[in-house]
Chain A
Amino acid sequence: NAGVTQTPKFQVLKTGQSMTLQCAQDMNHNSMYWYRQDPGMGLRLIYYSASEGTTDKGEVPNGYNVSRLNKREFSLRLESAAPSQTSVYFCASSEAGTGVHGYTFGSGTRLTVV
C-alpha cells in the first residue's frame, strides 16, 4: 500500500547512544517532515524538507540532525540521546508548496532513552 514507512517501530537507547530513524514515502511527494509527540504537548515540528536537497529547522531542532537522502527518504539522527528525547516520532509527507492537501503520516517510532 502507498504511504509513509517508518523504521524501527520501537527502540530503547541508553543515554549518549546514537541512532537514525528512517522514513520513506512512495507517493512522489516533494515535502517531508519530522514531528515528535509528547503527552499534553501535541505535535511539534523538529525538521522539515520542503523539497529534495533542502532542509530547515522546525520548532524543536536541538539534539537532532536530518538528511534528505533523495526524494523518497528523509532520516532523523540523534547523535547523543538524552532522556528528554523519549517520545513518539512521526514522519509525514505532503505535495509540494501547499498545505491544502494536508499530510500523510507514518505509523510512528516509539523511542525510550534510559
Chain B
Amino acid sequence: GDSVTQMEGPVTLSEEAFLTINCTYTATGYPSLFWYVQYPGEGLQLLLKATKADDKGSNKGFEATYRKETTSFHLEKGSVQVSDSAVYFCALSGSGGSNYKLTFGKGTLLTVNP
C-alpha cells in the first residue's frame, strides 16, 4: 500500500537558518504530493502541493520538488523565522481508485529559536 516516510524530529534551528525536511514515498501510479503545516492547537493547513513529476510547489518561502526518480518531496526554506515553528506533515494522494484519500507521514516538529 501507499506510505510516506519523513525525517524524524524534533528539528531545532536558529532564526534565518536553512531548513530541509526529508520526505520519501511509496505508491503505485502517479500520486499527488502535499506538505501540510500544523501550528500549536490548530488543525492542519495545506502549505504546498505538486501533482506531477518535476513540479515545484511553493508557498510562504517554502518549496518542494516532486522527484519521481528518487520518490522524494523534500521541504526546504532558505531562511526560517520563529513563526515557522510548527509540525510539518508530508502526504500523498494515491492515483486510481484511492485518489481521494491522503496518506500522511508521522510529522516533523520544527522549533525555530530567535
CB distance from B21 to the nearest CB of A (A): 14
The yes or no answer to A31 lying at the interface (CB within 8 A) is: yes
B43 A106 Cβ-Cβ under 8 A: yes
Chain B 80-102 near chain A by CB (<8 Å), digits 1 or 0: 00000000010101100001111
Q: What separation, in Å, do the CA atoms of A33 and B51 have in the docked complex?
A: 21
* Count of chain B residues with a beta carbon within 8 Å of a chain A beta carbon: 22
The yes or no answer to B58 lying at the interface (CB within 8 A) is: no
Number of A-B contacts (CB under 8 A): 62
The yes or no answer to A50 lying at the interface (CB within 8 A) is: yes
B101 A99 Cβ-Cβ under 8 A: yes
CB distance from B30 to the nearest CB of A (A): 11
- Of A45, A90, A92, A102, which is within 8 A of B34 by CB? A102
Q: What separation, in Å, do the CA atoms of A75 and B36 have in the docked complex?
A: 24
* Count of chain A residues with a beta carbon within 8 Å of a chain B beta carbon: 26
The yes or no answer to A43 lying at the interface (CB within 8 A) is: yes
The yes or no answer to A53 lying at the interface (CB within 8 A) is: no
- Of A48, A90, A102, which is within 8 A of B46 by CB? A102
Which residues of B does A touch, CB under 8 Å?
A: 32, 34, 36, 42-46, 49, 51, 89, 91, 93-94, 99-102, 104-107
